Structure 1
Amino acid sequence: MNEPNEPAELDLPVEGGALRVLRFGGGPRIALAAHGITGSGMSFRALARGLPDEWSLFAPDLRGRGGSAATPGPYGLDRHALDLCRLARDLGDGSPVALTGHSMGAYAALLAAVRRPALFDRLLLVDGGLPLPVPPGADPDAVLDATLGPALARLGRTYGTDAAYVDFFRAHPALGPHWNADIEAYVRYDVTGPLGARRSKVREEAVRHDGRDLLTSDGLFAARLTELRVPALLLRAPLGLLGQEPPMLPASVVRRWTDGPTGLPAELIEGSNHYTILLGTAAATVAERFVGLGG
């Protein structure tokens, strides 16, 4: 298995600029991973550690996040999918790569896999990728505020020290009870700004643009799921963004896309929530399923 060393940081070209990409591992087998709506490539630190030594996992900071915060828009899931396709083409150098995405990143990964299936030999969706039910006429920004909660609230705040920023995350009900070195590395990677006014690297405008796109594109995601031809698996958490029920993916939605002989294969990762499925002990299982999905 890969050692838990800190990743190498690369700047790789995409349309209109470059993305900061974290490389975990040094093997020739290439994997590509897309993070969630307020996350970064550091979300995959624990998963990367569970991959075989011959693998390298490349985890970009998507536009508007992490080291890619200054990369210009447009934002949106289709833009992120195009970026993933560009990275897969360049990194794969003629060979298909393994693709995974968590939360919002699962939707971008789905779009990429359908757009350019020859670039990918598998698709692992982690607690995302299925159309989300939104009440008719609902304001997407209000839905974002209600669902993302602390993750969105932090973007408009400043913190006196890095320790204060870490303490904010320690108070998060889905993270604090499960605190570990991977969560702390994820949090510390996200902080920037001068002492006395430390803040998240994530641009709120990118989050809101992508969130509106996600919440108003259920028909698009449904169509793409029916068009998917890359071997795929959905891993889902029983607990949601606040570490309690309901889960990110409602049971009724999961049944719609997994039941029947042609349904999407899926597995419930017991004991995990929306974040700890990647940032907790469950990450070892996610890595195992990712490797095994290739047959």
Structure 2
Amino acid sequence: MSGPGYRRVAVPVDGGDLAVGVWEPAGETKGTALLVHGVTSSHLAFTHLARRLPGLRLIAPDLRGRGGSHAVRGPAGMEAHARDLVAVLDAFGLESVPVVGHSMGAFVAVVLAHRAPDRVTGLVLIDGGLPLAAPAGLSAEDTVAAILGPTAARLSMRFRDVDAYLDFWHEHPAFAGRWTRELEAYFAYDLVPGDGGLRPATSYATTVDDTIDLTTGDALREALASLDTPTLMLTAPRGLLDEEPGLYEESRLATMLAGLPAVRHQRVEGVNHYTLVMSPEGADAVAPAVAGVLAGERSTA
């Protein structure tokens, strides 16, 4: 499948420059969306999705502490990421856009819509954005382990080369039988030099700060309490290790959604938390949702 043009640019924020991926059509642009990735991810998580949205310009930063933005200094948290996203919109001269967030990116998107409501025309939350089930009374590290498990544990690991890192992910249950060239590029991009070899670009300290903030901080709670931005939430039936249930068990999710009239929900069958975005099948399901949000924006303009 031929894809849109792709480039990376740097956008200054407090503490450094964010790396921002941009996919855009060669001809007329029918609309623009802002894409926000997950807690230990990067903008390349959206490669499959970008190829399924012809005619759209997609702007996807690496959040501070991740990917090409791993050297950005300063505190993290949902509000810090939201401020960075406003800086990205300003850098591209964008007044307001629909925002698509996957995993932690969905939480950031909700906070962005609350802190800068005039910049967000609609939300697509992909397996994130509403409170996660987490045991109470845990330390910061134990909370991260309870929610992210091996996803966080790998951040302290070192790999002799790219092939060793790819071998690590080949064994991951979320990607068994679902390996693609796009995944290889995504994982290779994740690596930076570290003591004793290569390490994942994501900062463990930033991951802790973000996970604690989205589970116990005020920013998300306040944002959800006043959420009136038109929102579509897509969830996966399987979790980070391809286990059932996924991050959002159906009865618990139904209880939360009952108090959030702005949020519509759609379960996407046959995928897990990762492959809902990072596979051809998942992207096939997500792309019409994103296109629909943009189409709704144009029809009411």
TM-score, length of structure 2 as denominator length = 0.90
1:21 is paired with a residue whose SS is: strand
What residue number does 1:118 align with?
118
Q: Deviations over 1:3-39 (max 9, x none)?
A: 3367311101223322000112246422111111100
8 Å CA contact 1:124–1:234 kept in 2: the answer is yes
Q: 1:90 and 2:107 equivalent?
A: no
Question: What is the identity, as a one-letter code, of the residue corresponding to 2:83?
Answer: L
- State the distance in 2 between where 1:195 and 1:161 align: 13
Question: What is the identity, as a one-letter code, of the residue corresponding to 2:17?
Answer: A
Shift in alpha-carbon separation, 1:132–1:183, aligned structure 2, 3 A:
same
State percent identity of aligned pairs: 38
- 1:145: Cα distance to partner? 1.4
Unaligned runs of 5+ in 1: none
- 1:271: Cα distance to partner? 0.5
- State the distance in 2 between where 1:181 and 1:52 align: 20
Shift in alpha-carbon separation, 1:198–1:102, aligned structure 2, 3 A:
same
What residue number does 1:58 align with?
59
8 Å CA contact 1:192–1:199 kept in 2: the answer is yes
Question: What is the identity, as a one-letter code, of the residue corresponding to 2:271?
Answer: S
- 1:132: Cα distance to partner? 1.9
Question: What is the identity, as a one-letter code, of the residue corresponding to 1:125?
Answer: L
Q: Which moved more, 1:12-21 or 1:165-174?
A: 12-21
Question: What is the identity, as a one-letter code, of the residue corresponding to 1:200?
Answer: P
TM-score, length of structure 1 as denominator length = 0.91
What residue number does 1:164 align with?
164
What residue number does 2:15 align with?
16
Shift in alpha-carbon separation, 1:223–1:76, aligned structure 2, 3 A:
closer
Alignment of structure 1 residues 201-240 onto 2, 5 Å: 201-217=201-217, 220-240=219-239
What residue number does 1:133 align with?
133
What residue number does 2:271 align with?
272
2:263 is paired with a residue whose SS is: coil
8 Å CA contact 1:12–1:21 kept in 2: the answer is yes
8 Å CA contact 1:89–1:119 kept in 2: the answer is no
Q: 1:31 and 2:30 equivalent?
A: no
Unaligned runs of 5+ in 2: 297-301
Q: Which moved more, 1:59-68 or 1:83-92?
A: 83-92
Shift in alpha-carbon separation, 1:7–1:16, aligned structure 2, 3 A:
same
1:85 is paired with a residue whose SS is: helix
What residue number does 1:41 align with?
43
Shift in alpha-carbon separation, 1:146–1:262, aligned structure 2, 3 A:
closer
- 1:261: Cα distance to partner? 8.8
- State the distance in 2 between where 1:220 and 1:253 align: 21
1:265 is paired with a residue whose SS is: strand
- 1:260: Cα distance to partner? 7.4
- State the distance in 2 between where 1:33 and 1:170 align: 26
What residue number does 1:105 align with?
105
- 1:196: Cα distance to partner? 6.8
Calculate the aligned-residue CA RMSD, in Å.
2.1
